[in-house]
Homo-oligomer: A and B are copies of this chain.
Amino acid sequence: MKAKLGWLVAMALVLGWGTMQMTQNLAADKSEKLLRHVVLFKFKAEVTPAQVQEVADAFAALPKKIDVIKDFEWGTDNSPEGIAAGFTHGFLVTFADEKGREIYLPHPAHEDFKKLVGPRLDKVLVFDYWAKK
């Protein structure tokens, strides 16, 4: 009986330690340095909603094709301030470092994406930064 309890103690302590490590790792992920890549699109007037959706879907498919993309999110402008300069679609791509961006920019999957989206754009803005708090 004592031996059984000893095993239970050991197992529970390992469980506790392991999940504490996981917690610390998740917390560390939140504070590490990130290279952000902000991309804003304004589409040409003649581009259809289906063509816009095709672009958004193709962009959102890049993280599966390019493994240096650490994080990806996007959305459509809903600012009530009215100073978005006509941009309607925004994408936030995150790299771990400049090497990641160097791989991403000329990557064949990114080049294919640019061929799809380029002719549909009225204008594009790209702004990159190292995220500071």
Contact = CB atoms under 8 A, between A and B. Distances in A.
- Most chain B beta-carbon contacts within 10 A, residue among A6, A12, A36: A12
Give this chain's copy count. Answer: 2
Contacts of A22: 19, 23
Contact-residue bracket for chain A: 35 or more
Tell me which of A6, A105, A128 has the highest count of chain B C-beta atoms within 10 A of its own C-beta. Answer: A128
Interface in A63-103: 72-81, 83-85, 87, 90, 92, 101
Interface of A: 1-2, 5-6, 8-9, 12-13, 15-16, 19-20, 22-23, 26-27, 30, 34, 36-38, 40, 60, 72-81, 83-85, 87, 90, 92, 101, 105, 124-133
